[in-house]
Structure 1
Amino acid sequence: MTRPSRLFRDGVTTFALLALLGLLALKMNNPPELIQTGSFYVVDGDTLARDGDRFRLLGIDAPEYRQQCRRADVDWACGEEARRALDKLMKTGAAECRGSEHDRYGRLLVTCKAGGVDINGAMVRSGMAVSYGGYAAEEAAARQAKAGLWAGEFERPRDYRREEKMGRGGDPLAGLSDYLRQFIGWDR
Structure 2
Amino acid sequence: MFDPAIVVSGPAHVIDGDTLRIGEERVRLFGIDAPELAQMCGSVRCGVNAREWLVRRIAGRPVRCEGESRDRYRRVVAVCRIGRHDLARDMVQAGQAVAFRRYSEIYVGDETEARAARRGIWSLRFQLPHEWRRDRR
Establish whether TM, by shorter chain, passes 0.5: yes
The equivalent of 1:176 in structure 2 is: none
The equivalent of 2:91 in structure 1 is: 123
> Identity of paired residues, percent?
37
Mapped partners of 1:109, 1:52: distance in 2: 14
Q: 1:142 aligns with which of 110, 114, 128?
A: 114
For structure 2, the residue ranges without an aligned partner over 5 or more in a row are: none
User: Tell me, what secondary structure is at the counterpart of 1:76?
Assistant: coil
User: Tell me, what secondary structure is at the counterpart of 2:35?
Assistant: coil
User: Tell me, what secondary structure is at the counterpart of 2:55?
Assistant: helix
Aligned residues: 131
CA shift digits 1:115-149 (9 cap, x unpaired): 43110100000000000122001000100000001
RMSD: 1.6
Mapped partners of 2:76, 2:68: distance in 1: 7
Larger Rg: 1
For structure 1, the residue ranges without an aligned partner over 5 or more in a row are: 1-30, 166-188
Say which structure, 1 or 2, has more relative contact order (CA 8 Å, 6+ apart).
2
CA shift digits 1:80-137 (9 cap, x unpaired): 0000111122227431111111112111101111143110100000000000122001
Structure number with the higher strand fraction is 2
Structure number with the higher helix fraction is 1
Mapped partners of 2:48, 2:82: distance in 1: 21
